[in-house]
Amino acid sequence: MDHAANPHFAALMSKITSGNAKVGVIGLGYVGLPLAAAFHAAGYSVLGYDTDPNKPKFLKEGTPYLKHLGTDLYKTLAASKKFEATTDPVRLGECDAIAVCVPTPLDQFHVPDLSYVVKSAETIARTVRPGQLLILESTTYPFTTRKEFRQPLEAKGLTCGKEIFIAFSPEREDPGNKNHTTVTIPKVVGGLDKPSGELSVALYAKAFKQVVPVSSAEVAESAKLLENIFRCVNIAMVNELKIVFDAMGINIWEVIEAARTKPFGFMPFYPGPGLGGHCIPIDPFYLTYKSKEFGVTSQFIELAGLINTRMPYYVVDRTARALSDRGKPLKGSRVLVLGLAYKPDIDDVRESPSFELIEEFRERGCHVDYTDPHVPKTFPTRDHCLDLTGVPCTPESIRSYDALIVSTAHAAFPWDMIAKEAKFVVDTRGAMARYAAQMGERLFRA
């Protein structure tokens, strides 16, 4: 039977194209909340679901909990009769389409943890019904949608492509990016079958400026991995070059600026104290893990991951040597880490290398604090529990530390004052380059 004649397909396509479909979003974090807002702006009725009771409460009040999204988004959703947030999983049965935006972390051995994906599928399966479109957005390895996500959804005897429809569409959020928003970033979509793909394309087409259909969920899953592995590998390369050029007494930042003047065949990447964020430190290991199932060893990707994960320890070692050259042992030193967020001008601390820096400096016997205008205090994460409150970035505070470590180059930092007052700065981001002459031996690049 032609799938267009399938009554479940036809009814759902009609709801989607008319804007009468109810869309559910599981996970109201950095990915799910902007997606829910995009579907709402497109005219759909939206139900947001999260296991954290605070998020529905904040959304009902219009209280921002992800600052980089601004306040208008929260006010709009709070005032709308077409948006609601809940912690009740039974209500997911009301939705015609559900997008799953949950974490896909690594465990302590760098093994992918798909428990959030599987639990989400199991939660949907409790109320799954014919005529629902179910889309995974969480970054993962190929075949996750077809196997781990699909299996619980079909457990009640409903068949994908006939009674229910399943697809994968990778999130492409970049918190704090001023040039691209959720709806302007092209949306890649791949179904487990042709009907699922067509329904997913139709759903996203009403909310996004451009939808990019691909032939399968596996292509969509792989495209997301390629995007982030591309960045991971190139950042690893420039991090390794930094180590090589440092040994030669050559400024890596000046080298990059010179190379980027070439108008073709070169794309600049920049070194740092390690990788942060929800994708680049994690996604490559998803592919290296899955590739072993097919008898393939992805040595190049594994090496890039190894180089990047070692960078915080390189920074600490370089700091220890630099302080020693100044007659100051690392043990017992007072160290201030500038920036806890993983990238400038946001409050997102996921996988931030600053955590590794702080813990390693502590292990070496330092008194360590941090300052970050966007992150006033730490909170427990899956891997870290620092229990710290940020110190003020004042002249008196800056003068009290033996070494400042520039980990995140926030625009809000008073760089002029830091250059004037700091005893010693270890710059991992090239943020202090314009103060090199002023600071002399008080500035150290690592």
- Look at residues 156, 185, 217 and tell me which one is the last residue of a structural domain: 217
Instruction: Say if residue 343 is in the same domain as residue 200.
Output: no
Q: Is residue 361 in some structural domain?
A: yes
For residue 436, the enclosing domain spans 313-445
pLDDT at 407: 97
Which phi and psi angles does 23 have, rounded to 5°?
-110, 130
pLDDT at 188: 98
What is the identity of the amino acid at 441?
E
Q: Is residue 393 in some structural domain?
A: yes
pLDDT at 446: 85
Q: What is the pLDDT of residues 133-171, one digit of tens each?
A: 999 999 999 999 999 999 999 998 999 999 999 999 999
Tokens in use for 268?
């600049």
Sheet holding 97-100, edge to edge: 83-86, 45-49, 22-26, 97-100, 132-136, 164-168, 187-191, 211-213
Instruction: Say if residue 39 is in the same domain as residue 171.
Output: yes
Indicate the SS3 state at residue 182. Answer: coil
Instruction: Say if residue 203 is in the same domain as residue 337.
Output: no
Are the CB atoms for 351 and 281 separated by under 8 Å? yes
Q: Is residue 293 in some structural domain?
A: no
Range 396-421 average pLDDT: 97
Tell me which long-range contacts 257-263 makes (C-beta under 8 A, separation of at least 24).
none
- Between CA 220 and CA 74 the distance in angstroms is 30
Range 174-180 average pLDDT: 85
The pTM assigned to this predicted structure is: 0.91
Q: Is residue 11 in some structural domain?
A: yes
Are the CB atoms for 373 and 393 separated by under 8 Å? yes
pLDDT at 394: 97
Are the CB atoms for 252 and 271 separated by under 8 Å? yes
pLDDT at 1: 55
- Between CA 73 and CA 432 the distance in angstroms is 35
Which of 31-40, 302-311, 356-365 is least confident?
302-311
Instruction: Say if residue 42 is in the same domain as residue 152.
Output: yes
Instruction: Say if residue 172 is in the same domain as residue 50.
Output: yes
- H-only helix segments in 126-190: 150-153
Q: Is the pLDDT confidence value at 122 over 70?
A: yes
- Between CA 232 and CA 409 the distance in angstroms is 20
Q: Is residue 345 in some structural domain?
A: yes
Q: Is the pLDDT confidence value at 383 over 90?
A: no
- Look at residues 217, 252, 272 and tell me which one is the last residue of a structural domain: 217
Are the CB atoms for 151 and 125 separated by under 8 Å? no
Question: How far is C-alpha 101 from the chain's CA centre?
Answer: 12
Q: Is residue 36 in some structural domain?
A: yes
Q: Is residue 40 in some structural domain?
A: yes
Which of the following is catalytic: 95, 101, 160, 279?
Answer: 279
- Between CA 413 and CA 424 the distance in angstroms is 16
Instruction: Say if residue 58 is in the same domain as residue 168.
Output: yes
Supply the CATH number for residue 116's domain. Answer: 3.40.50.720
Give the count of alpha carbons within 13 A of 170, CB side only. Answer: 29
Q: Is residue 16 in some structural domain?
A: yes
Instruction: Say if residue 336 is in the same domain as residue 189.
Output: no
- The answer to whether 279 is a known catalytic residue is yes
Instruction: Say if residue 197 is in the same domain as residue 317.
Output: no
**Residue indicated by tokens 């949608």:** 145
Range 311-327 average pLDDT: 95
- Look at residues 217, 237, 261 and tell me which one is the last residue of a structural domain: 217
Instruction: Say if residue 74 is in the same domain as residue 197.
Output: yes
Instruction: Say if residue 12 is in the same domain as residue 159.
Output: yes
- Domain count of the fold of the chain: 2
Q: What is the pLDDT of residues 81-115, one digit of tens each?
A: 999 999 999 999 999 999 999 999 888 777 899 99
Q: Is the pLDDT confidence value at 9 over 70?
A: yes
Instruction: Say if residue 207 is in the same domain as residue 341.
Output: no
Give the percent of the chain with pLDDT over 70: 99
